[in-house]
Structure 1
Amino acid sequence: MKRMGLMLAVAAVLIPVACKAIKKHRETTRKPVVVLDMEALAERSLPGRAAAQYIKTVQTILHRGIDDVRTMYRGRENTPEGARAIAQAQSFYQQQMALYQKKLDNEIGDIVSAAVRSWLKKNRGVAAVVPADDTLGYNKHADVTRQIMVEVDWYKPSFPPMPRVRINKTPA
């Protein structure tokens, strides 16, 4: 009987201590936050490389429009009409490049978001994925760029149709 009383007394002391230790362990064991190098993803992933090639082609096509206007006004570039036509062609080029770049950024952003969501479903122990540029620093073990790139490479980007440059063939 004395043994039973001693065991109950020890249990009464140890159980609350053990519960506190378990609670403290749970509080200190948080889900990790990992980082993603967006620049590396854009440069090395299949959709990122496809987007870079696409924007180069768009740039070439749109720049041809400026070249065509300059050719039309060759020798008359400094006239008011020539300067206005060239300025309009350059403005059109800049507007279109900004528009295409924004569409591309949105498409790649959607792909990365879907890939990160897919990766997080498989890695439930991770609390969040943060862009590496938004951190003050991180341990190399927190970098999951390669793992997420595997997910990103499953996606095929959908780009808008290539531009068609239409210019006024008659000098104004």
Structure 2
Amino acid sequence: MKRMGFALTLAAVLLPLAYKAIRKHRSTRKPVVVLDMDVVAERSLPGRAAAQYIKTVRNILQRNVEEVRLAYQGREQTPEAIRAITQAQSGYQQQLALYQKKLDNEIGDIVGAAVRSWLAKNRQVAAVVPADETLGYNKNADITRQIMAEVDWYKPSFPPLPRSRANRNSL
């Protein structure tokens, strides 16, 4: 019974202090803003450049697969042809995934640098979170356009394009 009385007394003293601390925190809390990464990737200059680059990579790699198929035209069902075509298709998928990862990392680095630069200018903001990781947000919290303006100042650095089979064979 003594313990319960002590707990109630402690709660009676601490509850107003906790309430006061919460109110103070709410009044000094920095806002959190959101960034729509899909819009940045699709509409920013580096994002559009990356999309065009990966399209070119895909075309070169697909041509390489087609060249292997043409080399075995008329004998596609031979074990050698099946192996070569399967190997070319596998190489296409692996290389495309590797290039895509490199591009994603490059664009991610650019967006990260742009966000850090924006945050340095906007110290009243606590954090920038991806829009698709929220349950919802007020449109006033969306800073996508502002970040895109920062992102557009960066020039992406892409890896060299893959060589086509025709260029490799002529070397």
Return the TM-score normalized by structure 1. Answer: 0.82
Q: Distance in 2 between matches of 1:146 and 1:157?
A: 19
Q: Distance in 1 between matches of 2:21 and 2:58?
A: 59
User: Which residue is 2:25 aligned to?
Assistant: 27
Q: Distance in 1 between matches of 2:71 and 2:54?
A: 26
Structure 1 residue 26, shift from structure 2 partner: 3.8
User: Which residue is 2:64 aligned to?
Assistant: 65
User: Which residue is 2:50 aligned to?
Assistant: 51
Q: Distance in 2 between matches of 1:27 and 1:73?
A: 72
Structure 1 residue 165, shift from structure 2 partner: 3.0
The aligned length equals 149
Structure 1 residue 106, shift from structure 2 partner: 0.5
Q: Distance in 2 between matches of 1:140 and 1:165?
A: 47
User: Which residue is 2:144 aligned to?
Assistant: 145
User: Which residue is 2:128 aligned to?
Assistant: 129
Structure 1 residue 27, shift from structure 2 partner: 1.5
Q: Distance in 2 between matches of 1:146 and 1:25?
A: 33
Residues 31-84 of structure 1 deviation map (CA, whole Å, 9 limit, x = unaligned): 000000000000000000000000000000011100100000001111111111
Q: Which runs of 5+ in 2 are unaligned?
A: 1-19
Return the TM-score normalized by structure 2. Answer: 0.82
User: Which residue is 1:110 aligned to?
Assistant: 109
1:79-90 to structure 2, matched below 5 A, reads: 79-90=78-89
Residues 139-167 of structure 1 deviation map (CA, whole Å, 9 limit, x = unaligned): 11111000110000000000000001348
Q: Which amino acid aligns with 1:57?
A: T
Q: Which amino acid aligns with 2:109?
A: D
Q: Which amino acid aligns with 2:95?
A: Q
Say whether the 8 Å CA contact 2:67–2:165 is kept in structure 1.
Answer: no
User: Which residue is 1:41 aligned to?
Assistant: 40
Computing the radius of gyration over CA atoms, which structure comes out larger, 1 or 2?
1
Residues 110-150 of structure 1 deviation map (CA, whole Å, 9 limit, x = unaligned): 00000000000000000000001111111111110001100
Q: CA distance change for structure 1 residues 24 and 102 in 2, over 3 Å: closer, same or farther?
A: closer
Q: CA RMSD in A?
A: 1.9
Say whether the 8 Å CA contact 2:46–2:155 is kept in structure 1.
Answer: yes
Q: Distance in 2 between matches of 1:125 and 1:24?
A: 19
Q: Which runs of 5+ in 1 are unaligned?
A: 1-21
Structure 1 residue 28, shift from structure 2 partner: 1.2
Q: Distance in 2 between matches of 1:25 and 1:80?
A: 75
